Amino acid sequence: MTRPLDGITVVSLEHAVAAPFCARQLADLGARVIKVERPGSGDFARGYDSRVRGQSSHFTWLNRNKESLALDLKDPASLEALKQLLGTADVLLQNLAPGAAARMGLSYEALHAAFPRLIVCDISGYGDNGPYRDKKAYDLLIQSEAGFLSVTGTPETPSKSGISVADIAAGMYAYTNILSALLLRGKTGEGSHIDVSMLEALGEWMGYPMYYAFEGAAPPPRTGASHASIYPYGPFVAGDGGTVMLGLQNEREWKIFCDQVLLAPALATDARFDSNAQRNANRAELQAEIVRIFGALQASDVVQRLDEAGIANAHVNDMAGLWVHPQLLARQRFAQVDTPVGAVPALLPPGRNNQYDYRMDAVPAVGEHTAVILDALQLPADALAAVRKASGL
């Protein structure tokens, strides 16, 4: 079996979410990913929680398929060993604090002359220039700067995403940019510098609300789990207390919904509700009508009517429901991944390719591969001894 990135080596100075998410996806496709960590404690995301049999949930999710190299990059011999390692690599990925990589001589400009084929990808909060260049950036702060909080939540309460959406966006764009740079290098023979900004990544995902508020127009309101501009589209409570998520996209579906689900065909032509604009403007009145009708039904009855009418709907799952989702189980989307405390289930990456299977190898312990990686560099004996000492070997 040949995977797309077999033979590609990525050295990643990574922590938290954005760069580890990018690197893990490259590894899923076959790349060798060498994760550089602090000796002893490692990536600070290892300590976020202990939910996975004593291990961090974030770290378990983001770090399968990787080799862990523990290096003290403040130690000159260790930094020199890292630079020698880069001579064998295709990609350097990093999301250190602003300017940290450059201060260690690991900028694209510093490395390109020695390693012209090396692709250097820097992930930061705001990019490598501009007035915000040196500003610290965490996921919630970028959600705030990108306007995400202004369109998420309820009218009374702006709400953050329940996942690290800004980090994930940046990791995704780093991943796709690295794939593009590898393709480009195949044509030109030269590596690229990739500058990924969390603000710009999440800003791209904010395209719809930006255009909705074009030239000073009112932005989308915060509407909880309901759609901001299409109605009915969101959660509705049935008589047994269960919640059903449903969505309508057009006037044809609205008529079917009234006829076959609500059993109230007159609502379809009611002047208050006869277009999406009218339904959106009068959503409180329409919600009352829908909840009144659903109130005489079990949630399962509502879902059955929706399915029979061909109206889109969904269960409001929690995490326990996702772990046992019948569609994921039917498609065999879970595999086992080894960790330092034993195997755990892991969701396979999205997208099935009939030519290869994804790598689903182990999550490493801190520094687990340090000795093997250092020995392969064939450093002079005194340099190797210094690096091993600084790494705690």
Catalytic residues: 227
The Cβ of residue 105 has, within 10 Å, a number of other Cβ atoms equal to: 13
* Cβ burial, residue 124 (10 Å; 0-12/13-18/19+): buried
**Which amino acid makes up residue 391?**
S
Sheet holding 9-13, edge to edge: 66-70, 32-37, 9-13, 91-94, 119-124, 193-197
CA dist 150 and 154 (Å) reads: 10
Nearest to 122 by CA among 146, 141, 98, 105: 98
CA angle 31, 32, 36 (to 5 degrees): 130
Q: Are strands 91-94 and 9-13 parallel, antiparallel or unpaired?
A: parallel
CA dist 88 and 81 (Å) reads: 11
